Structure 1
């Protein structure tokens, strides 16, 4: 009976012998050799040398193991570590980004999730050990510690890697397929600004020196007029605007990539590349921004040096501006709290780390741009070693600062609320979901309907239609 062939990526018995001796006949060099079946099916001799028999055999073992991992032509085994599989999946995604089929920002997001969550949880397991119950447990833990959004990202990554393992023959079924789906209600349900809130927003930004310094009034107007994402708005060049025709061309977005800085890249999908018509009030805003020195290749909303603005910094500035100083009492309280912090020698970052608060919250409190209450201030000053109950002047300031202000109506607004407002306005004007999705640059109408369109519960037309359909003239 013929001897069965070596499995792909494995080797036979290792042989070692002396190949060199010194003048006294003492061995000084050994050679270890074994037959290795490569991933093209051919059996080849693989050898390695060492000063001792043990050293030669260890060197050969390492060479054979490395060859089994790296010399692949599309195959894996269930014994490979998931960490190795993640490397293969990441390289494949990099090629898709290079080919323009995937977004570089998606790659950055996946890399963070792999580094912080997936690799620590699964990297040292073998592919064959990645069972559905084990993956389910990992995803549940990630959801608990990092949130549903991160868990969904990790689920997509693990599913993609396991799909790759199935394709390469390491396993026969993707274990993620039967894992429990990750569901969580949105932190903030779709909400659009009312007409009164839009007027209050524009009035508030126009009266805010900080907002003017950050060039936010015109940017907000442009986003309301178009429904574009903030990165898309920052990527528009003057050459893409035709004020005579009243149109703007959306083709790119601004993103920050690790190791590359700010880049202007094409939109995530073909649906994102679109020609939009501008309302007259938006055209008027853009005309006022035009000056004789503007070049066609300049961005409309540039930074102070005339270059591209960072979307993250712009969002932060918008959040700050959308929390305007509510009243004089709130501003005075913020100044007092800032003075107390400085007396302790602490920075805003140190306070934020101590309390596990976002650093921006400390800034908003100290500038009077956030509504505070007694408990919040008590927690804050406690980190300075101050007991609020013994600080009577501060207690009096808190009483005055906690009174309602008109600007509190704007505190909930984020940049995406402007997109929702545009979508809802078009919906109420009778535009179809497909037309609204095209305006927003979304390929799937379902996303537009579920996330960006603030639906109205009342529908008088439905009552009239049912009345006409089922009215019985013989009934009293």
Structure 2
């Protein structure tokens, strides 16, 4: 029976031989082209020759252009992972988030050698990070660190990915807080009065909060998508007026605020039917507008979602609302109302969530935990025993 071939990148038994006054050590090595070749090295003694051969075999076993070893610092793998991050199919927001979390990894573990990045080391790091920065930051950082370690595994510098065996970070069940129809109506009225009012110095406000909130309430659109809507994305003269969601406003590192020509997910690229109160608001704005953007900045350019949220917080503080009332709360109000009337799937489609995901149900819909209607059954407890006995007599 023929001898089975060596595994790629491995060698067979090392042998020694004496040649004249020196020694050689040699072994068969199977290269990555599938060809098995003899490799040999010399030395003054057999042991020295074997040590030289082992070093040569280890070098040869590394993939071309790779020199990561268990002694390599984690920072080097982080640099490599970061360099290839732009090649991945990720949104700009995700890249920014991942690179932000890389700073935590560099600071706490970057100087460790790869062989020192153990399950225990990962657990210690993530536990400390969760205590200092919260579970959400720790969860995202865990994903990033796992990607870094997996790259080292693929390069042959780590045998396994220690993050996979580290403790997971528990996720608390989110409590959905939102506004009902009546409360939304009150806020909308307050916003119109706020926009028409004056600030503490007596100057007319230029906040423009009411119309954008009406757009969110009438569509469930994301804040970034809202400010990316251009007049060319609207079809207001149709029997059923539409808004085509085709982009989102994002902040790019070293670039600034830009209109990204695609929204958050594939499902987010959608066309939404517009209710009449939104159509009337948009027709009014179209007459007054000189910008390509429907909800533009005071300079007529793309409006920053961050600036919008800052203006919202000023209104919220002056109006006495709790901190959980944010622009996204109106999106949750849309999800809750639509789900109550038409079902969770319809609500998810309206919001642009991935079909079949639990995001809408878990994070956007406020449930009314209404028990069964057993009033007639429980009414039996209201019977007066004394009265019953008198009737029986």
Aligned equivalents of 2:326 and 2:68: distance in 1?
46
Q: Does 1:194 pair with 2:180?
A: yes
Cα deviation for residue 124 of structure 1 reads 0.6
* Structure-2 residue corresponding to 1:413: 325
Cα deviation for residue 172 of structure 1 reads 2.4
Residue 140 of structure 2, aligned match among 140, 153, 157: 153
Contact 1:89 1:164 in 2 (8 A): yes
Q: Does 1:267 pair with 2:258?
A: no
Residue 251 of structure 2, aligned match among 249, 256, 260: 256
- Show CA shifts across 1:427-463 (max 9, x none): 11123x22221211111520111001111101558x7
Q: Does 1:76 pair with 2:68?
A: yes
- Show CA shifts across 1:293-320 (max 9, x none): 646xx11110111111111111111121
- The alignment partner of 2:368 has SS state of coil
* Structure-1 residue corresponding to 2:386: none
* Structure-2 residue corresponding to 1:445: 357
- The alignment partner of 2:314 has SS state of helix
- Show CA shifts across 1:16-44 (max 9, x none): xxxxxxxxxxxxxxxxxxxx9699949xx
Aligned equivalents of 2:106 and 2:301: distance in 1?
37
Residue 337 of structure 2, aligned match among 425, 428, 431: 425
Q: Does 1:109 pair with 2:97?
A: yes
Residues 230 and 39 (structure 1 numbering): CA distance in 2 closer, same or farther, change over 3 Å?
A: farther
Aligned equivalents of 1:214 and 1:39: distance in 2?
66
Contact 1:76 1:165 in 2 (8 A): yes
The equivalences for 1:385-424 within 5 A come to: 407-409=319-321, 412-424=324-336
- The alignment partner of 1:207 has SS state of helix
- Show CA shifts across 1:161-194 (max 9, x none): 11222222222221111211112537x7211201
The normalised TM-score by structure 2 is 0.75
Residues 149 and 411 (structure 1 numbering): CA distance in 2 closer, same or farther, change over 3 Å?
A: closer
Cα deviation for residue 196 of structure 1 reads 2.0
- The alignment partner of 1:291 has SS state of helix
- Show CA shifts across 1:407-442 (max 9, x none): 4356541111111101001011123x2222121111
The structure richer in helix per residue is 1
Contact 1:256 1:262 in 2 (8 A): yes
Contact 2:177 2:324 in 1 (8 A): no
Residues 434 and 73 (structure 1 numbering): CA distance in 2 closer, same or farther, change over 3 Å?
A: farther
Contact 2:339 2:345 in 1 (8 A): no
Aligned equivalents of 2:330 and 2:205: distance in 1?
18
* Structure-2 residue corresponding to 1:287: 283
- The alignment partner of 1:144 has SS state of helix
Contact 1:254 1:310 in 2 (8 A): yes
Unaligned runs of 5+ in 2: 1-14, 16-24, 32-40, 43-54, 376-393
Residues 321 and 409 (structure 1 numbering): CA distance in 2 closer, same or farther, change over 3 Å?
A: closer
- Show CA shifts across 1:65-101 (max 9, x none): xxx9xx95456322211111111111121112xxxx2
- The alignment partner of 2:151 has SS state of helix
Q: Does 1:90 pair with 2:77?
A: no
The normalised TM-score by structure 1 is 0.62
Q: Does 1:221 pair with 2:214?
A: yes
Residue 136 of structure 1, aligned match among 116, 123, 143: 123
Residues 195 and 82 (structure 1 numbering): CA distance in 2 closer, same or farther, change over 3 Å?
A: same
Aligned equivalents of 1:165 and 1:194: distance in 2?
51
CA RMSD of aligned residues (A): 3.1
Aligned equivalents of 2:312 and 2:128: distance in 1?
34
Aligned equivalents of 2:149 and 2:28: distance in 1?
28
- The alignment partner of 2:297 has SS state of coil
Cα deviation for residue 259 of structure 1 reads 0.8
Cα deviation for residue 149 of structure 1 reads 1.4
- The alignment partner of 2:287 has SS state of coil
Cα deviation for residue 4 of structure 1 reads 5.0
Residues 75 and 248 (structure 1 numbering): CA distance in 2 closer, same or farther, change over 3 Å?
A: farther
Spell out structure 1 runs of 4+ moving beyond 3 A.
36-42, 71-76, 292-295, 409-412
- Show CA shifts across 1:231-264 (max 9, x none): 1101110100111231101111111122111111
